[in-house]
Amino acid sequence: MKTMKTIALATVLGASLAAGANAQAGSLSGNIGVTSNYIFRGLTQGSDDSAVQGGIDYDHGNGFYAGTWLSSLGASNQYEMDLYAGYNFTAGGVDLDVGYITYTYPVGAAQSDIDEVYVNASYQNFGAGLALTISKESGVYEDDRYLYVSAEFELKKDLTLTVLYGDYDFDDPASTDYSHIQLALARGDFTFAYDSNDLPGAAGDARFTVSWGQSFDL
């Protein structure tokens, strides 16, 4: 679910992964969406092309959930398919979400599959999370770490602003660590987002995206 990928767009392992938290016991739900640019952790995933996305989530009713999420990747035939499972609970007034996710690329992108464990926490309108890579299909440099903090503000009824700061620390010495920010303005089913990072060259260019998404019971 790399469009956890703006906050509302699931850029932080949030929207789809936590879907089970609001579902009824033993319920099944779906989600669909389109975005002008699939941004994940501050980087475009489809060469700045638009993407079609969707998934299915199951909530057991006692905090456990599982699901799958897919996204097209630009104009090629490649696509991303994520599988995840986790547990939602509250401790000391803080909502917690712990789980496991695997990012797979069935077409092309050889040796690109990645497995992560994650923990997300939220209190009132503040959030934070940590994702740790536990394995890669390539089998090398598997200890990447991603950390984020966020805050959400209701500007007026049905209009919210989310601010997110994330930091990526790679195990591979050939990869460049980076930080990024995201500003996401959401109204109804639409989200307008600004993303930027401190990478050099075109990868670090600021990007504006518009996305639409909707969830429904199955």
pLDDT digits (tens, 9 = 90+) for 54-103: 999 999 999 999 999 999 998 777 899 999 999 999 999 999 999 999 99
Percent pLDDT > 90 in the chain is 79
Number of domains in the chain: 1
Report yes or no on 8 lying in a domain: no
Q: Average of pLDDT values for 177-186?
A: 98
**Residue 17, pLDDT above cutoff 60:** no
The pLDDT, as a whole number, for residue 111 is 64
The pLDDT, as a whole number, for residue 1 is 45
The pLDDT, as a whole number, for residue 19 is 43
Q: Return the number of other C-beta atoms located less than 10 Å from residue 22's C-beta.
A: 11
Which residue do the tokens 């060259």 mark? 201
Sign of the Cα torsion 81, 83, 88, 94 reads negative
Report yes or no on 4 lying in a domain: no
The pLDDT, as a whole number, for residue 47 is 87
- Residue with the bigger pLDDT between 62 and 138: it is 62
> Which range of residues forms the domain containing residue 110?
19-217
The pLDDT, as a whole number, for residue 24 is 56
Strand, helix or coil at 50?
A: coil
- Residue with the bigger pLDDT between 90 and 5: it is 90
**Residue 23, pLDDT above cutoff 80:** no
Report yes or no on 106 lying in a domain: yes
CB 171 within 8 A of CB 194: no
**Residue 15, pLDDT above cutoff 70:** no
Give, in order, the Cα–Cα distances in Å from 117 to each of 16, 19, 114, 189.
15, 17, 10, 29
Identify the CATH number of the domain in which residue 184 sits: 2.40.160.40
CB 62 within 8 A of CB 34: no
Q: Mean pLDDT for the chain? A: 89
Report yes or no on 2 lying in a domain: no
Tokens of 47: 């060469």
pLDDT-derived band at 112 (thresholds 50, 70, 90) equals: confident
The pLDDT, as a whole number, for residue 36 is 97
- HSE, side-chain direction, 13 A CA sphere, residue 40: 17
CB 128 within 8 A of CB 148: yes
Report yes or no on 1 lying in a domain: no
